[in-house]
Structure formats: C-alpha cells, structure tokens
Amino acid sequence: MLDALDISASALSAQRRRVEVIANNLANAGTTRDALGRVNPYRRQDVVFRVGMPGGNPAKGVHVERTVQDTSPSRLEHNPGHPDADSEGFVRMPNVSPVIEMVNMMEASRAYELNVTAMDATKGLFSAALRILA
C-alpha cells in the first residue's frame, strides 16, 4: 500500500515540474531576446517523462527525465514599430502558443488532482485496514 503512495507522490512531483515549465513558457511568450541581449526568441520548453523513480524501482512511478526545447520554428509577426523588427517590419517571436500552454496547464492540473485523489483513496484503504486489524 505504501508503494501506491510513492507512485502517486512521484506523479505529483512530475506534474509540478511540468506546471513550472508551462508557466515559464507563458512568462516568456513575448521574449524576443536572450539573456545576453541578442535577438534570439525564446524557445518553448517541454518535459520528457520516464517510468520509474530515479534511484528506485524502475517499474514504479514516474519522473521528469529531462526538459527539452521545442524545435518548431519561431513565428513571424508583422510589427514595424518593434525594436527587434527586421528591415521588412517582421519580428521573430517565440514558438509559444498561449492557448496550447493553457490546455497543457489544465491537463497537468487534472493529472495532479487525480493523483491527490488516488493518494486520499489509498490513505482511506490503509485506515480501513488498520481499523479491521485493531
């Protein structure tokens, strides 16, 4: 029964990390320069999940193996007044779609809620088993 709690806890941690990455994507949806000030639009990030827990049982739980950059191209936006516009008035914007990120956020939130519910059910079963044994 404790394995069920560990599995749900690993999923909570993985979804929390996913939400952090999504929030970072949304925060940088309009960022057209890198940390050094060069015109280089932000690249959307995504998480890669892996079954198993690091340093634990490889068949139980889930964790974020790594964060990867989305390789889709930057979108061009016509905005001649933007300081990063090219000679034709186009600005290379991040490849972040706020609509897609919000859908991903809702999905991660639902997965988080599902695992909280699973943990509560497991705790309820554990309590019932203790009452029967007591």
pLDDT in tens, 35-94: 999 999 999 999 999 998 777 777 789 999 999 999 999 999 999 999 999 999 999 999
Q: What is the pLDDT of residue 3?
A: 86
State the angle between helix axes of 98-133 and 2-27 in degrees (0 to 180), rounded to the nearest 10: 160
Neighbour-count burial of 37, counting CB atoms closer than 10 A to its CB (0-12 exposed, 13-18 middle, 19+ buried) = exposed
Helices (H) and strands (E) in the chain, counts: 2, 4
Res 107: pLDDT: 98
Report the pLDDT value the prediction gives residue 1, as an integer from 0 to 100.
65
Residue type, 109: S
